[in-house]
Amino acid sequence: DSGVTQTPKHLITATGQRVTLRCSPRSGDLSVYWYQQSLDQGLQFLIQYYNGEERAKGNILERFSAQQFPDLHSELNLSSLELGDSALYFCASNPAGFSYNEQFFGPGTRLTVL
Amino acid sequence: AQTVTQSQPEMSVQEAETVTLSCTYDTSENNYYLFWYKQPPSRQMILVIRQEAYKQQNATENRFSVNFQKAAKSFSLKISDSQLGDTAMYFCAFAYSGAGSYQLTFGKGTKLSVIP
């Protein structure tokens, strides 16, 4: 158990819908990373938040957005869903500010878009 | 942009034998980190081993060791005395501080099967 929790574990929805994935980082970790794992694209970095502010953006679609709240949990919002958005979405956390620390991964949320 | 290449989509090894998984990367950065992550059927991402680029000594964690060749931009993983529990996808990953973020760039993965 990494200490990172993600809810829900599974999500099934229809095209055009909007969903919210939630991540609670390890206690004390200020940084949250979101990754997408799909058959087509492999594992890709989406976005990072550090202490409530966006730190870095990767291959995140405009239909996707994220935020980190004062209690440090983070949410990834996916809208106008398409079949290709079906994937496993991971959240990872670490204490990192300006030096490297290991990222601890949550169990992931499996999203299926029908 | 950083890229990570794993040229072996699938590999198999007999239990108790040794196997080496290959990884090459491309970067213009000098200070960076390299990792091998394991993803068993449970889908959990588990860090196996990491290497800091400024360290010449190859990292070792129990049965897992790496061969880090910085000039060749190569980072292979050796698993000794393979066990059934080593059956998993293995991902090579790269991180460096770009604008204060250490996001991971992953390779496509190698599916390792350990055969009894």
- Quick: pLDDT tens for B22-70: 999 999 988 899 999 999 999 999 999 999 999 989 999 999 999 999 9
Q: Tell me: the pLDDT tens digits for A73-82?
A: 999 999 999 9
Non-local (6+) Cβ contacts of B88 within 8 A are: B38, B39, B40, B41, B111, B112
Residues 6+ apart with CB under 8 A from A28: A95
Cβ contact A98–B97 (<8 Å): yes
- Which residue matches tokens 């574990």? A9
Across chain B, mean pLDDT equals 94
Structure tokens at A8: 């829900």
The C-alpha atoms of residue A11 and residue A21 are separated, in whole angstroms, by 9
Binary contact (B44, A105; C-beta < 8 A): yes
In one-letter notation, the amino acid at residue B114 is V
Please give the pLDDT value at position A101: 73
Average pLDDT over residues B105-111: 96
Q: Do B95 and A100 touch (CB under 8 A)?
A: yes
A-to-B residue pairs, Cβ atoms closer than 8 angstroms? 56
Residues of B in contact with A100 (CB under 8 A): 33, 95, 97, 102
How far is the C-alpha of B71 from the C-alpha of B73, rounded, in Å?
5
Mutate to test the interface with A, among B5, B32, B48, B101 (most CBs of A within 10 A): B101
Predicted confidence (pLDDT) at residue A97 exceeds the cutoff of 90: no
At A84, is the secondary structure helix, strand, or coil?
helix
Residues B17-45 as b/e (b if ≥16 CB within 10 A, e otherwise) read: eebebbbbbebeeeebbbbbbbbeeeebb
